[in-house]
Protein backbone atom coordinates (compact mmCIF):
# COMPACT_ATOMS: atom_id res chain seq x y z
CA UNK A 1 0.00 0.00 0.00
CA UNK A 2 1.22 3.46 -0.85
CA UNK A 3 0.58 6.37 1.49
CA UNK A 4 0.99 9.94 0.38
CA UNK A 5 1.31 13.22 2.25
CA UNK A 6 0.68 16.05 -0.19
CA UNK A 7 2.74 19.21 -0.46
CA UNK A 8 -0.05 21.23 1.14
CA UNK A 9 -0.35 19.07 4.24
CA UNK A 10 1.46 19.12 7.55
CA UNK A 11 1.41 16.16 9.90
CA UNK A 12 2.52 16.56 13.48
CA UNK A 13 2.66 13.29 15.36
CA UNK A 14 3.65 9.72 14.77
CA UNK A 15 3.05 7.42 11.83
CA UNK A 16 3.15 3.68 12.29
CA UNK A 17 2.27 0.72 10.14
CA UNK A 18 3.05 -0.95 6.85
CA UNK A 19 3.33 0.15 3.26
CA UNK A 20 5.35 2.76 1.45
CA UNK A 21 5.07 6.41 2.40
CA UNK A 22 5.66 9.28 -0.02
CA UNK A 23 6.00 12.70 1.60
CA UNK A 24 5.67 15.86 -0.44
CA UNK A 25 4.55 17.95 2.53
CA UNK A 26 5.80 18.29 6.08
CA UNK A 27 6.00 15.69 8.81
CA UNK A 28 7.11 16.58 12.31
CA UNK A 29 7.29 13.42 14.33
CA UNK A 30 8.47 9.86 14.24
CA UNK A 31 7.80 7.34 11.49
CA UNK A 32 7.85 3.59 12.05
CA UNK A 33 7.01 1.75 8.86
CA UNK A 34 7.64 -1.71 7.45
CA UNK A 35 8.05 -0.30 3.95
CA UNK A 36 9.94 2.64 2.54
CA UNK A 37 9.80 6.36 3.24
CA UNK A 38 10.34 8.67 0.28
CA UNK A 39 10.76 12.38 1.00
CA UNK A 40 10.18 14.19 -2.27
CA UNK A 41 11.82 17.48 -3.26
CA UNK A 42 10.02 20.17 -1.31
CA UNK A 43 9.03 17.66 1.34
CA UNK A 44 10.34 17.81 4.88
CA UNK A 45 10.61 15.34 7.73
CA UNK A 46 11.78 16.27 11.20
CA UNK A 47 11.84 13.14 13.28
CA UNK A 48 13.15 9.65 13.76
CA UNK A 49 12.55 7.17 10.99
CA UNK A 50 12.55 3.41 11.35
CA UNK A 51 11.77 1.62 8.11
CA UNK A 52 13.28 -0.48 5.32
CA UNK A 53 14.47 2.29 3.03
CA UNK A 54 14.69 6.04 3.35
CA UNK A 55 14.94 7.98 0.10
CA UNK A 56 15.53 11.70 0.50
CA UNK A 57 15.11 14.27 -2.23
CA UNK A 58 13.92 17.00 0.11
CA UNK A 59 14.87 17.57 3.74
CA UNK A 60 15.18 15.12 6.58
CA UNK A 61 16.63 15.52 10.06
CA UNK A 62 16.58 13.02 12.91
CA UNK A 63 17.73 9.51 13.62
CA UNK A 64 17.14 6.77 11.09
CA UNK A 65 17.36 3.03 11.61
CA UNK A 66 16.98 1.28 8.26
CA UNK A 67 16.93 -2.39 7.36
CA UNK A 68 17.91 -1.81 3.76
CA UNK A 69 18.85 1.39 1.93
CA UNK A 70 19.52 5.06 2.54
CA UNK A 71 19.48 7.16 -0.59
CA UNK A 72 20.14 10.90 -0.83
CA UNK A 73 19.39 12.49 -4.17
CA UNK A 74 20.67 15.72 -5.64
CA UNK A 75 19.25 18.65 -3.68
CA UNK A 76 18.57 16.54 -0.62
CA UNK A 77 19.46 17.77 2.85
CA UNK A 78 19.93 15.17 5.58
CA UNK A 79 21.07 15.71 9.14
CA UNK A 80 21.30 13.34 12.10
CA UNK A 81 22.36 9.77 12.69
CA UNK A 82 21.93 6.90 10.31
CA UNK A 83 22.09 3.16 10.81
CA UNK A 84 21.67 1.25 7.58
CA UNK A 85 22.79 -1.67 5.42
CA UNK A 86 23.28 0.08 2.10
CA UNK A 87 23.85 3.72 1.30
CA UNK A 88 23.95 5.83 -1.81
CA UNK A 89 24.62 9.53 -2.05
CA UNK A 90 24.28 11.39 -5.30
CA UNK A 91 26.26 14.51 -6.21
CA UNK A 92 24.56 17.62 -4.91
CA UNK A 93 23.19 16.10 -1.72
CA UNK A 94 24.05 17.91 1.51
CA UNK A 95 24.66 15.53 4.40
CA UNK A 96 25.56 16.01 8.01
CA UNK A 97 25.29 12.46 9.26
CA UNK A 98 26.82 10.03 11.67
CA UNK A 99 26.61 6.78 9.76
CA UNK A 100 26.74 3.25 11.08
CA UNK A 101 26.68 0.65 8.33
CA UNK A 102 25.75 -2.80 9.54
CA UNK A 103 26.14 -6.21 7.96
CA UNK A 104 22.90 -7.66 6.59
CA UNK A 105 23.46 -10.85 8.58
CA UNK A 106 23.72 -8.87 11.79
CA UNK A 107 20.36 -7.34 11.10
CA UNK A 108 18.77 -10.70 10.49
CA UNK A 109 20.20 -12.06 13.72
CA UNK A 110 19.54 -9.18 16.03
CA UNK A 111 18.15 -5.79 15.34
CA UNK A 112 20.26 -3.50 17.52
CA UNK A 113 18.44 -1.01 19.71
CA UNK A 114 18.22 2.48 18.36
CA UNK A 115 20.21 3.80 21.25
CA UNK A 116 23.32 1.85 20.28
CA UNK A 117 26.27 4.11 19.51
CA UNK A 118 26.10 4.67 15.77
CA UNK A 119 28.92 7.18 15.35
CA UNK A 120 31.37 5.09 13.39
CA UNK A 121 31.80 7.15 10.26
CA UNK A 122 31.13 10.80 9.65
CA UNK A 123 30.03 11.59 6.11
CA UNK A 124 30.60 15.11 4.86
CA UNK A 125 30.95 16.82 8.22
CA UNK A 126 30.45 20.59 8.01
CA UNK A 127 33.68 21.24 9.85
CA UNK A 128 36.77 19.11 10.16
CA UNK A 129 35.21 16.85 12.73
CA UNK A 130 37.37 13.84 13.47
CA UNK A 131 36.23 10.48 12.27
CA UNK A 132 35.87 8.53 15.45
CA UNK A 133 36.20 4.79 15.37
CA UNK A 134 34.79 2.83 18.25
CA UNK A 135 37.36 1.69 20.79
CA UNK A 136 38.36 -1.98 20.58
CA UNK A 137 36.42 -4.23 22.90
CA UNK A 138 39.53 -5.69 24.58
CA UNK A 139 42.58 -3.51 25.18
CA UNK A 140 45.88 -4.86 23.83
CA UNK A 141 48.67 -3.30 25.88
CA UNK A 142 51.41 -5.13 24.01
CA UNK A 143 50.46 -3.43 20.75
CA UNK A 144 51.71 -0.05 21.88
CA UNK A 145 55.12 -1.34 22.90
CA UNK A 146 55.46 -3.67 19.94
CA UNK A 147 55.17 -0.94 17.36
CA UNK A 148 58.54 0.83 18.05
CA UNK A 149 60.37 -2.53 18.07
CA UNK A 150 58.98 -3.25 14.65
CA UNK A 151 60.25 0.08 13.45
CA UNK A 152 63.70 -0.65 14.80
CA UNK A 153 63.70 -4.07 13.21
CA UNK A 154 62.80 -2.48 9.93
CA UNK A 155 65.76 -0.18 10.25
CA UNK A 156 67.97 -3.16 11.04
CA UNK A 157 66.77 -5.03 7.98
CA UNK A 158 67.40 -1.99 5.86
CA UNK A 159 70.87 -1.68 7.32
CA UNK A 160 71.64 -5.31 6.57
CA UNK A 161 70.53 -4.97 3.00
CA UNK A 162 72.33 -1.73 2.24
CA UNK A 163 74.78 -0.48 4.84
CA UNK A 164 75.39 2.75 2.94
CA UNK A 165 71.76 3.63 2.91
CA UNK A 166 71.53 2.75 6.58
CA UNK A 167 74.32 5.18 7.41
CA UNK A 168 72.50 7.82 5.43
CA UNK A 169 69.32 7.05 7.34
CA UNK A 170 71.25 7.14 10.58
CA UNK A 171 72.50 10.63 9.84
CA UNK A 172 68.97 11.78 9.02
CA UNK A 173 67.16 10.13 11.87
CA UNK A 174 69.43 10.83 14.80
CA UNK A 175 71.35 8.90 17.43
CA UNK A 176 68.81 6.13 18.08
CA UNK A 177 68.72 4.91 14.50
CA UNK A 178 72.42 5.52 14.22
CA UNK A 179 73.09 3.18 17.13
CA UNK A 180 70.90 0.52 15.49
CA UNK A 181 72.61 0.89 12.17
CA UNK A 182 76.04 0.45 13.68
CA UNK A 183 75.04 -2.72 15.46
Partner 1 sequence: MATSTFGTKPAAAPSAGSTLGPGITVEGEISGTDPLVVQGTVKGQVRVQNAVTVDAGAVVEADVEATELRVLGALAGNCVASERLEVAAAGRLIGNVRAPRIAIAEGAAFKGQIDMDVP
**Residue ranges binding partner 1 (CB under 8 A):** 1-19, 21-22, 24-25, 29, 33, 36, 38, 40-41, 52-53, 55, 57, 68-69, 71, 73, 86, 88, 90
Q: Cα separation of 163 and 142, whole Å?
A: 31
Q: Cα separation of 106 and 10, whole Å?
A: 36
When the beta carbons of 52 and 169 are compared against partner 1, the nearer one is: 52
Helix 163-173 × helix 141-161 angle, to 10°: 130
Shortest Cβ distance from residue 110 to partner 1 (Å)? 19
Rg of the chain over Cα atoms, rounded to whole angstroms, equals 25
Strands (E), 109-149: 121-123
Shortest Cβ distance from residue 18 to partner 1 (Å)? 4
When the beta carbons of 13 and 139 are compared against partner 1, the nearer one is: 13
When the beta carbons of 31 and 170 are compared against partner 1, the nearer one is: 31
Do the beta carbons of residue 139 and residue 145 sit within 8 Å?
Answer: no
When the beta carbons of 22 and 119 are compared against partner 1, the nearer one is: 22
Amino acid sequence: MRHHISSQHTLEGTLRGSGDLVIAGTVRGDIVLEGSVHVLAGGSVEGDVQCASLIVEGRWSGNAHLSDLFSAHEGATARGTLSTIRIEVMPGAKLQLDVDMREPAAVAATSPPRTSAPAAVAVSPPSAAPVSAPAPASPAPTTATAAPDEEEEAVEDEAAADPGAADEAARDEGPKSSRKARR
